[in-house]
Structure 1
Amino acid sequence: MAAWTTNDIPDQSNRTVVVTGANSGLGAETARALARAGAQVVLACRDVAKGQEVADGIGENAQVRRLDLADLSSVREFAAGLAATHETIDVLVNNAGVMAVPFRRTADGFEMQIGTNHFGHFALTALLLGRITDRVVTVSSTMHRIGKIDLDDVNWERRRYERWPAYGQSKLANLLFAYELQRRLAAHGSPVKSIAVHPGYSSTNLQYRSESRYGKLVELVTPVIGQSAKMGALPSLYAATSPDAEPGGFYGPGGLFEMRGHPKKVSSNARSHDEYVASRLWELSERLCDVQTPLTST
């Protein structure tokens, strides 16, 4: 793949894209680039005021709607509101997330990281899937490699909580979901694509809000070795717009250790391709989130 940039984004006129977590960082850069290419972008943000600042900078191609992925009632409200105004949505970019936060729970009692990063996006995708016409892009991380899905204790009710393994579990869940979604879409003859991405090591607010003991070190190191949010957003933009983005593909930076660089197709670990765990996680997610899709059975 050549050095793909935002200049390669095809014309997005007459297309609607929903980007979660678009009030800052990768989400904001994704929204800006899509809007410049002509798309109507819905900034789905927990912090509406910050989202509005981004939207004001974009102009008439952007609108802000409140979405708190750590609260399923908010996810349902957002999906219902969007359905009332949009018959179809071309692309959903599941971008928002939290990283390595201290132990806490979502409004629905999920561990915060898997609750926000996976369950919130799973429910959102399920509720919007009937309106999505082109593709679903889910942002994972190279940290999926340290993750392990404990189907009997995904919410850390019996295990001693460890913030980085919990983050890794949530990012592995993102990949298992993206791959399983593609399998189910294909089995049902749907033309919709499910594509996963990761941003490498990008200098964004996520790096500074981990609340971990290494927070100060991260603040010092990130500007030196991390790439810009604009570069980190390129895999998402490629997956969301390129006609060459493959269904079921995984894209990330093409540089050393996939930390920075232009997007390319990358690989993920064996755990992310475990179809049994992916199917079980899908069923568990449907039950815990109380949502179902036309893809419930394959």
Structure 2
Amino acid sequence: MAAWTAKDIPDQTDRTFVVTGANSGLGAETARALAGAGARVVLACRDVDKGKEVAADLGDNAQVRRLDLADLTSVREFAADLADSHETVDVLINNAGVMAVPLRRTADGFEMQIGTNHLGHFALTALLLDRISDRVVTVSSTMHRIGKIDLDDLNWERRRYDRWLAYGQSKLANLLFAYELQRRLTAHGSTVRSLAAHPGYSSTNLQYRSESLQGKVVEFVTPIIGQPARTGALPTLYAATAPGVEAAGFYGPGGPFELRGTPKQVRSNGRSHDETVARELWELSERLCGTEMLRP
């Protein structure tokens, strides 16, 4: 793949994108690039004020709507509000996330990382899927490689909590979800495509919220080796807009160790392709979220 940049995004006029977590970092850069290509962009943000600051620079095609992925009531309200507007969504970008935070619970009692990064996006996708016409892009991480899905204790109620393993579990869940979503879309004869992306090592505010000793180390090295957020957003933008992308494709930076660089198709680990775990995680997610999607 030749070096692909935001300048290569095809014209997105008359297309609508929902970007979660678009008030800062990768989400904000994703929204800026899409709006620059002519798209209508819904900035789905927990912090509406910060979202409005981003949207102010994007023109009339940007709108901000409140979405707190750590609260399923908020997810349902966001989806209902979008339905009331009768707006079709061409592409949903499941971007928002938290990383390596101390043990906390969402409004629904889920461990914060699996609750925000996976379950919130699972519920959102389920509630919006009948309005989506083109693609669902779910943002994962190279840290999926340290993850393991514990279906008996997904929310860390019995295990000793480890913030990094919890993050890895949530990012592995993102990939299992993206691949299983494509299998089910195909089985249902849908033309909607599910893809995944990861930003490599990107300098965003995500690295400054882990509240740990390891987090302090990450804070120190990130400005040195991390790529700018606008570059980190490119794999997501490629997955969301490039013609000819593969269904269930996974896209990340093309540089050494996938840490930085322009997008290319990359591989995820074997655990992410375990169809039995993916199916069981899907069914558990439906029960936890109170939603159903693409049942067999």
TM-score by length of 2: 0.99
1:59-78 aligned at under 5 Å gives the runs: 59-78=59-78
- Residue 113 of structure 2: aligned partner: 113
- Residue 223 of structure 2: aligned partner: 223
SS of structure 2 residue aligned to 1:92: strand
| Aligned partner letter, 1:6 | A
**Equivalents in 2 of 1:86, 1:227: separation in Å?**
38
Using the aligned pairs only, state the percent identity. Answer: 80
Cα deviation for residue 244 of structure 1 reads: 2.0
1:1-298 aligned at under 5 Å gives the runs: 1-293=1-293, 295-297=294-296
Mark the runs of 5 or more structure 1 residues left unpaired by the alignment: none
Cα deviation for residue 213 of structure 1 reads: 1.4
User: Which has the larger displacement, 79-88 or 34-43?
Assistant: 79-88
Cα deviation for residue 211 of structure 1 reads: 1.5
SS of structure 2 residue aligned to 1:231: helix
**Equivalents in 2 of 1:284, 1:64: separation in Å?**
31
Instruction: Encode CA deviations 1:218-240: one digit per residue, 9 max, x unaligned.
Output: 22210110000000000000000
**Equivalents in 1 of 2:217, 2:141: separation in Å?**
20
Cα deviation for residue 209 of structure 1 reads: 1.2
**Equivalents in 1 of 2:87, 2:138: separation in Å?**
22
Cα deviation for residue 87 of structure 1 reads: 3.6
**Equivalents in 1 of 2:34, 2:209: separation in Å?**
26
**Equivalents in 2 of 1:234, 1:46: separation in Å?**
23
Mark the runs of 5 or more structure 2 residues left unpaired by the alignment: none
Instruction: Encode CA deviations 1:112-145: one digit per residue, 9 max, x unaligned.
Output: 0000000000000000000000000000000000
SS of structure 2 residue aligned to 1:160: coil
SS of structure 1 residue aligned to 2:81: helix
**Count of aligned positions:** 296
| Aligned partner letter, 2:176 | L
RMSD: 0.6
Instruction: Encode CA deviations 1:150-188: one digit per residue, 9 max, x unaligned.
Output: 000000011000000000000000000000000000111
SS of structure 1 residue aligned to 2:213: coil
